[in-house]
Chain A
């Protein structure tokens, strides 16, 4: 029998100050990157615009494509290699003409340069500004509504403290993942949104497992006599540690394979998941429980302090 952590008793809560520091640093780096780059880079799903995915018969030179496109003056186009050296994504700002007209002009411009060879248009997408904005808003609403739903459910099944701490942990994971996207210059697209939603699901799932153990231990009398709340949480996290790490490992493998072999279409999605799994596991072990301890000691502190004042007087 293989056994990870046969009898763990790590002091996670004791190291919570370090964990806060690490989290704050990571989130700060991510936020700084987002601010420096003027926010997240939205894919045309959210920003609106026209996107062409083209494939050349031979690997062309990007400069040549750029020169060919500059001649037809479609505005600021962004040209990116996509997957392999023959495939490119061309992003164009919103234009008045239809996407077919744009496609035709690009095709003509490329045909005018014989060194570029044959080009096939594999995908054209046009998203109007209104739709992009609506999608953005709707995504935000959906995520906020989802978080509120989680908060209510966890607050009912456990307590408000747990609900709030779980939400903060989820938020933490989403922030770190978004920061990682910004740092690696990836775009926020619909599949990436799906990945963020997945991270939320994964992270809250993980956190609930630890909470449940805490609740179960506390409901069995006698066993926890003499231990502080921090110790109780430590015990719960340790007891569920092998399951947390095991599940993280399986998910880690699965998303890792997706990231490295899933191809360009799935890459950004898999990357967000990959980061989300790591930070989700980390936040379950180091953040969610620690926050409840923090909250409890704050509340107890406030209860005790007035008493002291009375004693002095």
Chain B
């Protein structure tokens, strides 16, 4: 056997062994998409504008404090819209001083100045807004990842999609409601005093001071599964947030048998603050608010040192545990909305994969048989190449951690089609060359050489399409593009390199070649 055949055979062997290595063990090596496996697929939209509004709010407070420290009287410093702060000074006297203070807030631009009226507006710079938005999404991604980790899902996918979306895939999870509650909760914990000067009736009738708002407590009757909302009049000012939390754990609720509560521990600074708050407000009610809902509003009987508090709310053990996870991991930087949600039961995933696989194997088999009958020995070689192509494709998916979905199966189907076509092109060409009277050996040579250019053209066109689809598409379109791309690259190797090698091994050594089986 000539030397070049040895290294070519070696290369093919190495590729086969490498593929097998990546594919072992088959069960766990290829990620199946949720459409094939069952599980939950969620797309969350991060309301980044709200994070910008919160940031603007904070800056407005800082600015007000900074102006007052410099002895500049202000009439109003308030957020307007998402990213603007309206400033109204008491008089135009300290205009220049005020501007010096304002210039320290370098991420905001001054607009609509009116020195005579002593007012101006600050607007957050576009770049800063972009950055805040990005931070909000990245922060949310990180927090959600931590929560899901604690929830205990094997192999979750949590990725950013576009500028403000988060894609979450939880294979095998069968309790979507619980998973969604855990993931979608903002988790903003606040402690605020009740407004005990205003009665609930007055507040509901609209007689509400500007510093207070109505928040509701959800009381659930577990037997009838009904929910009732109890209104509270709560001061807008937040005394303490969950940001000062160091731990949250689940305990049995001593006052309500069968229910659970969450015990929280503050940091040293937070504990100090909590002690102060309780000391100054003995006799009043302190509302514990999570994501805008009141959980409880116990009366403060005495100063509470030690930095511990409990949140009660007739929780089941799962609810309490999930709440503890959310509190421990901290609040999301911005609230999220559910944009897309798909839950596929495991039985359905199994059914569709079984049926799909049966159909795909059957159609593969039909192609195999067809090639064998039509091209005989050459058909068998093409079939081997096809098998090798599938092996390479699956190995590539396993190696790069690709996910196989239904549209991905479509990509495989097109790949098989094109791989067969490549061999058909070559074989038809060889037959043609033999018809015009070439010897079998010359015909093989000419067939491969002549067909090569068109094979490159067809492959490159489709590869270009696959690349573009990958760049422009999302999710399923990408899955399609990935299988198509890897499949076609593999097909260049198997349908051209591998079949040529087999032909060479079979025919090139013989001194005299009368006929070939094609």
Chain A residues in the interface with B (C-beta under 8 A): 1-3, 53, 98-100, 120-128, 130-131, 134-135, 138-139, 141-142, 145-146, 148-150, 153-154, 157, 190-191, 193-195, 197-198, 200-202, 204-205, 208-209, 212-213, 216, 239-240, 242-243, 246-247, 249-251, 253-258, 261-263, 265-266, 269-270, 273
Contact = CB atoms under 8 A, between A and B. Distances in A.
Interface string B385-412: 0000000000000000000001100110
6 contacts: A122-B347, A193-B476, A250-B370, A254-B364, A266-B355, A273-B413
Contact of B417 (A126, A139, A254): A254
B457 A212 contact: yes
A124 B343 contact: yes
B355 A263 contact: yes
Interface string B472-486: 111111001000100
Contacts of A212: 453-454, 457
Contact of B472 (A2, A134, A145, A154): A145
Interface in B416-464: 416-418, 420-421, 424-425, 428, 431-432, 450, 453-454, 457-458, 460-462, 464
Contacts of B359: 257-258, 261-263, 266, 270
Given A255-B413, A257-B363, A266-B355, A149 B476 contact: no
A interface: dominant SS? helix
Contacts of A254: 363-364, 366-367, 413, 416-417
B187 interface: no
**What 10 pairs between A and B have smallest CB-CB spacing?**
A194-B407, A254-B363, A263-B355, A262-B359, A212-B454, A142-B472, A257-B363, A194-B410, A122-B348, A126-B341
Contacts of A251: 417
Interface residues of B, number: 73
B86 interface: no
Contacts of B343: 99, 123-125
B476 A190 contact: yes
A190 B406 CA distance: 9
Contacts of A146: 465, 468-469, 472
Contacts of A200: 465
A149 B454 contact: no
A239 B432 contact: yes
B358 interface: yes
Contact of B465 (A53, A126, A201, A242): A201
Given A99-B343, A126-B342, A201-B462, A208 B454 contact: yes
Nearest to A241: B428
B342 A123 contact: yes
Contact of B406 (A53, A191, A242): A191
Given A213-B454, A257-B359, 10 more contacts: A126-B338, A127-B342, A145-B469, A191-B410, A204-B462, A205-B462, A209-B454, A253-B366, A254-B417, A263-B352
Contacts of A249: 370
Contacts of A269: 406, 410
B39 to A, nearest CB: 11
Contacts of B101: none
B180 interface: yes
B201 interface: no
A150 B461 contact: yes
B13 interface: no
A135 B468 CA distance: 16
